[in-house]
Amino acid sequence: MRKIVSIVLILIAITAIIIYYPRDEERSMTPGASVDEALDSIIQKKLAMIDERGLDLCVSGKSLSSFGYDVRLDDKAKLLAPEDFLEDIMCCSVNEYPNGKIELDRSETELQFSSGDIQNIDDKKYVPISDHLAELGYVVTYDLVRGKVDFLNNDGGKYLPKAYDMREHDRVTPVRNQGAYGTCWAFASLGALESISLPMEENIYSVDHMSMNNGFSLDLSEGGEHTMSLAYLASWEGPVYEADDEYGDGETDPDLTAVKHLKEAIIIDNEEQDKIKSAIFKYGGIETSLYMEMSYGDFESEYYNKDTCSYYYDGEEKPNHDLVVVGWDDDYPKENFTPEPSCNGAYICKNSWGEEFGDKGYFYVSYADANICKKSIVYTKLTEPDNYDNIYQSDILGWVGQMGFDKDEAYFANVYTAESDEVLKAVSFYATGPNTNFSVYVVTDYEDMSSLNGGRRQIGKGETRYAGYYTVDITQDIELKKGQKYAIIVSVKTPGSERPIAIECDGGDRTANLDLTDGEGYVSLYGEVWYSAEESDTNVCLKAFTDDK
């Protein structure tokens, strides 16, 4: 294998000599130096240029330059891949352990890398994958002259195993008990959130704090939903640790600050099994809902088989209970369900009714269930609380409704005033549907609505595969002086939508705390004629993040 790699590198180097036309100092070779040394010198110079300018990363010929993946080449031209590329593009499950070990799973392949194998570059961990590409279902072509690497999938994209259980990979936190309260939504949200840091870091987050400090008007006896969880996390209200705000005592501490910051969450509409499985495999448990014909403390139902801990509902009732899906089994027998569905297969679900329920708190739900995974949320990016110093927002209640102009495209903007000398670092917003193309702009010297047209400059762009909450980091320094008004503008194109803008608005009794005085937002169809969001009784869901200068 090493001989083949050496031959490939020599051919690459010869191609570089022919195409690159090196300068005089690059053409010169030390008399008596071996051919290998000369070729290695050329390769090292080219690799240094690639390291400086960046690698043009492609998949099947399509460049991923706008997506920000930072794949590297080491000094032997071997590929080093970060976690986000391994998950998002190569469709691996990446599990990092406290001892520094990293496990890569793809289909039936399981690879182990020790801490000594991993390279740390700019506080980011890179896995050496060149010697394992075939096992991971890929071949790669190099063009060192142009600084280009192209990944080609050769296994038909079949990366999901027939069965997967997060419990077997140390990716779940302990089962908990909601008691008589209507807090299943918070248990499901935080159970899913906790899973994305495992097995590297186990944290138990406070359900009481999420249930009682989310900005909405509801008490512990009422149910909630994923949009409430998302608003609470995106607004930096939480999460906080369970040890600091324990469950079930009827008390909470509103002065606690978030111990993590959410950067991204994706929402999968309609039950598409491969997307659901992929999200679990790559990111963690997913929060979803189903109709439970039985209630807490009553484990008897015509749809529940206690002997096999399996559940299948085939009626028309709407969902009334949230839980976390942590795996699947395509061959789970349909005969285990009562009544019997038409097909084999089940999702493995973590409930919040204590370990007395089901298989120590877990149970199987048929793929054919009427409600399971019809809408699912998975939290994909969680950071330490010092990722940004400041948050600017006017949408504490988050994505309550949508607005637009009966077209799939629109512009929306929020105006903020810098509280000190700061540097703009990122913005966040909701994509209200899949395959949303977006562009981000800034106006640094905002005076009035006319500034939204003449003074904006583009600072980011991209595409989201799913609906969800997204944070866009800004790679250029945009300095803001204390008291300076600035505007963030986002344009979106969401196929199939007529109202692609997420807004905070009156959503009934639960949104009684809606505050329309805390923001200055605008909406537009083409970014030319603007309308005040607040005059339409809404706040635009668009946040800005800064660092103190």
For the chain, the farthest-separated pair of C-alpha atoms sits apart, in whole angstroms, at: 87
CA distance 345 to 499: 37
pLDDT above 80: residue 68: no
Q: Which residue has the tokens 């395959």?
A: 435
Lowest-confidence pick of 5-19, 37-51, 194-208, 219-233: 5-19
Query: Which stretches of 196-225 are DSSP H helices?
Result: 207-212
pLDDT at 133 over 80: yes
Average of pLDDT values for 487-491? 98
Q: Cα separations (Å) of 102 from 118, 129, 420? A: 8, 12, 41
Among the residue ranges 220-224, 238-242, 257-261, 422-426, the one predicted with the least confidence is: 220-224
Count of residues making up the chain = 549
Task: Report the alpha-carbon distance of residue 313 to residue 92 in Å, rounded.
Answer: 32
pLDDT digits (tens, 9 = 90+) for 350-363: 999 999 999 999 99
394: tokens are 């006017």
Percent of the chain with pLDDT over 90: 73
pLDDT greater than 60 at residue 20 = no
Distance CA 549, CA 546 (A): 9
pLDDT of residue 67: 75
Cα–chain center distance at 67: 13
Question: What's the N-to-C CA distance of the chain in angstroms?
Answer: 52
Average pLDDT over residues 202-216: 93
Which stretch of DSSP H or E encloses residue 351? none
pTM of the model: 0.86
> What is the share, in percent, of the chain residues with pLDDT greater than 70?
90
| Cβ neighbours of 63 (radius 10 Å) | 12
The per-residue pLDDT for range 317-327, each reduced to its tens digit, is: 999 999 999 99
Highest average pLDDT, of 36-45, 51-60, 270-279, 492-501, comes from 492-501
DSSP code per residue over 437-471: EEEEEEESS--STTHHHHS-EEEEEEEESSEEEEE
b/e code 203-220 from CB counts within 10 Å (16+ = b): bbbbbbbbbbbbbbebeb
Q: Which amino acid does the sequence have at 347?
A: Y
Rounded CA separation 398/505 (Å) = 9
Q: Which amino acid is at 362?
A: Y
Rounded Cα distance between 131 and 420, Å, is: 50
pLDDT of 328 strictly over 50: yes
| 424-482 tens-digit pLDDT | 999 999 999 999 999 999 999 999 999 999 889 999 999 998 999 999 999 888 999 99
3-state secondary structure of 269: strand
Mean pLDDT, the chain, whole residue set: 89
Which residues have CB under 8 Å from 139's CB, separation 6+? Answer: 133, 152, 154
Listed residue (380, 377, 382, 500) closest to 431, CA to CA: 500
- The pLDDT of residue 17: 35
